[in-house]
Structure 1
Amino acid sequence: MGSILKAGMRSHLRQKDCRKFQNKRCNTGNIFVVSLAVADLVVAVYPYPLVLTSIFHNGWHLGYLHCQISAFLMGLSVIGSIFNITGIAINRYCYICHSLKYDRLYSTKNSLCYMFLIWILTLVAIVPNLHIGTLQYDPQIYSCTFTQTVSSAYTVAVVVFHFIVPMITVIFCYLRIWILVLQVRWRTGFRRVKPDNEPRLKPQDFRNFVTMFVVFVLFAICWAPLNFIGLAVASDPASMVPRIPEWLFVASHYMPYFNSCLSAIIYGLLNQNFRQEYRRIVVSLCTAKMFFVDSSNDVADRTKYEPSSSMLSNNLVTVDSV
Structure 2
Amino acid sequence: MSCSTVSCYKAELQGSNHTFPILYQPSAAVTILQASVMIFTIVTDIVGNALVILSVLQNKKLQTPSNIFVISLSAADLMVALYPYPLITHAILQKTWTLGHVQCKVTSIINGLSLTGSVYNILLIAINRYFCICHSNKYDKIYSMKNTSCYVFLTWIAIIALLLPMATTDTLQYDPRIYSCVFNITANMSLTLIMAAFQFIIPITIVLFCYLRIWILVIHVKYRIRQDSKQKLKPSEVRNLLTMFAVFVTFAICWGPFSFIGLVVGFSPTGKAPTVPDWLLVQSYFMAYINSCLNGIVYGVFNHNFRSEYKKIVLSPCTFLSKLLQKMF
TM-score of the superposed pair, with normalisation by structure 2: 0.75
- Residue 111 of structure 1 aligns with which residue? 148
Task: Give how far 1:149 is off.
Answer: 2.4
- Superposed CA deviations along residues 27-70 of structure 1, whole A, max 9, x for unmatched, are 11110011001001110010000000111111111112211211
Q: d(CA) in 2 for partners of 1:24 and 1:112?
A: 18
- Residue 104 of structure 2 aligns with which residue? 67
Q: d(CA) in 1 for partners of 2:209 and 2:63?
A: 22
Q: Secondary structure of 1:149's match?
A: coil
Is the aligned partner of 1:280 residue 2:280?
no
Q: Matched residue pairs, number?
A: 260
Is the aligned partner of 1:35 residue 2:72?
yes
Percent identity, aligned pairs only, is: 51
Task: Give how far 1:152 is off.
Answer: 2.0
Task: Give how far 1:286 is off.
Answer: 8.3
The 8 Å contact of residues 62 and 305 in structure 2, kept in 1 or not, is answered as no
- Superposed CA deviations along residues 108-149 of structure 1, whole A, max 9, x for unmatched, are 111011000110111011111122222222101112222222
Q: d(CA) in 2 for partners of 1:62 and 1:48?
A: 13
Letter in 2 for 1:158: M
- Residue 188 of structure 1 aligns with which residue? 225
- Residue 258 of structure 1 aligns with which residue? 290
Task: Give how far 1:164 is off.
Answer: 1.0
Task: Give how far 1:153 is off.
Answer: 2.2
The 8 Å contact of residues 83 and 118 in structure 1, kept in 2 or not, is answered as yes
Q: Secondary structure of 1:137's match?
A: strand
CA root-mean-square deviation: 1.9
- Residue 207 of structure 1 aligns with which residue? 239
- Higher normalized helix content (fraction of residues): 1
Once the two structures are superposed, the pairs formed by residues 223-262 of structure 1 within 5 Å of their partners are 223-234=255-266, 235-236=268-269, 238-241=271-274, 243-262=275-294
The 8 Å contact of residues 40 and 261 in structure 1, kept in 2 or not, is answered as yes
Q: Secondary structure of 2:149's match?
A: helix
The 8 Å contact of residues 93 and 177 in structure 1, kept in 2 or not, is answered as yes
- Residue 137 of structure 2 aligns with which residue? 100
Letter in 1 for 2:100: G
Q: Secondary structure of 1:127's match?
A: helix
The 8 Å contact of residues 83 and 166 in structure 1, kept in 2 or not, is answered as yes
Structure with the bigger RCO (C-alpha within 8 Å, sep 6+) is 2
Q: Secondary structure of 2:174's match?
A: strand
The 8 Å contact of residues 25 and 103 in structure 1, kept in 2 or not, is answered as no
The 8 Å contact of residues 108 and 172 in structure 2, kept in 1 or not, is answered as yes
1:86 to 114, 119, 123: 123
Letter in 2 for 1:41: L
Q: Greater CA radius of gyration, 1 or 2?
A: 1
The 8 Å contact of residues 54 and 60 in structure 1, kept in 2 or not, is answered as yes
The 8 Å contact of residues 211 and 270 in structure 1, kept in 2 or not, is answered as yes
Q: Secondary structure of 1:244's match?
A: coil
Is the aligned partner of 1:50 residue 2:87?
yes
- Superposed CA deviations along residues 203-257 of structure 1, whole A, max 9, x for unmatched, are 111011011101101111221221221122222464435x321111111111110
Is the aligned partner of 1:216 residue 2:248?
yes
Letter in 2 for 1:56: L
Gaps in structure 2 of 5+ consecutive residues: 1-59, 321-329
Q: d(CA) in 1 for partners of 2:62 and 2:83?
A: 34
Q: d(CA) in 1 for partners of 2:285 and 2:191?
A: 19
Task: Give how far 1:151 is off.
Answer: 1.5
Q: d(CA) in 2 for partners of 1:163 and 1:66?
A: 26
TM-score of the superposed pair, with normalisation by structure 1: 0.77
The 8 Å contact of residues 82 and 166 in structure 1, kept in 2 or not, is answered as yes
Q: d(CA) in 2 for partners of 1:25 and 1:43?
A: 25
The 8 Å contact of residues 75 and 145 in structure 1, kept in 2 or not, is answered as no
